[in-house]
Amino acid sequence: VVKVNSAFAASCNFKSDFLHPIKEGEHYGTLLLVDVEDGPPLSLVDVSQPWELVLLWVVDTWIGNIDREINGNTLLQHAGSGRFHVIAADQSDCFGGASNFSSDGFPTDFLKQGSAPAPAILAAAIGASGGRKAVSEAIKTVQGVVGQVSGVLSTVPDSWWGQGAIQPSSVLNALHTRAERLPSIINPSAWELPDGVLL
C-alpha cells in the first residue's frame, strides 16, 4: 500500500504523462525494479530456471490470471550467462479480470475458470523441469501457501473493501476452493508422452 500525500498528488497531476488524476490517499503499488527487462521469455534457453515458468503458470491458474502473455506482465531479471529469472508483474487481471472480480458473478464464474493461458514455451519448461512430477510439485507449493491468504487479505485497507461488492471472506473461500481443485483443473498426468514415458 502506497500512501500519497496532497503535495505528491499535486506534483504528479502537474505532469502531463499521467493518464488519470492521482488522488491523495492509499493506493496499490509495486516495487520498482531497475535491473529487469520486459518478458515473456521467447525461448527456454533464455530461462535460468524453467521451474519458475511452471510455478508461475500454476499460480496464475490458482489466482485466475488471464493476461500473463502480454508484453511486460512478466519481467526478466539477469541471472548470468545470458539467462534470466522470470518474475511475475502486473496482476491486475487476476480473478478472471477486473470486470469479473467486481461483478455479482464472482466467485461462481471464478471457480468455473480453467487453467491459465500457457506461455508458448510452457511444455518445454515442464519437460526441462521433470514433466508430470514438476507440475505436481508446483501444485503442492501453491497448496502450501494457501494458509497465508487470510493474512495477506488483512493488509487490504477496509475502505477498499467498502468500494467493491465483494467481501474478503468470499475471496478467501474462492482461493481455498481453487487450491483444492488445482489437480483436476491442471491434470498433471496429461504431461506424459504418448507411449507413457514421463517427460
pLDDT the model gives residue 104? 81
Per DSSP, helices labelled H in 64-107 are 98-101
- In whole angstroms, give the CA distance from residue 65 to residue 151: 21
| pLDDT per position as a tens digit, 141-185 | 999 999 999 999 999 888 888 777 788 999 999 999 999 999 999
Q: Backbone phi, then psi, for 137, in 5-degree steps?
A: -65, -40
Residue 99 has pLDDT above 80, yes or no: yes
**For residue 65, which amino acid is it?**
N
The strand order across the sheet containing 83-88 reads: 36-38, 74-80, 83-88
Strand partners, 192: 198
Q: What is the number of helices (H) and of strands (E) in the chain?
A: 9, 5
- Residues 73, 41: contact at Cβ < 8 Å? no
Residue 130 has pLDDT above 70, yes or no: yes
Which pTM does this prediction carry? 0.87
C-beta neighbour count of 58 within 10 angstroms: 25
Q: Which residue has the cell 482461493?
A: 175
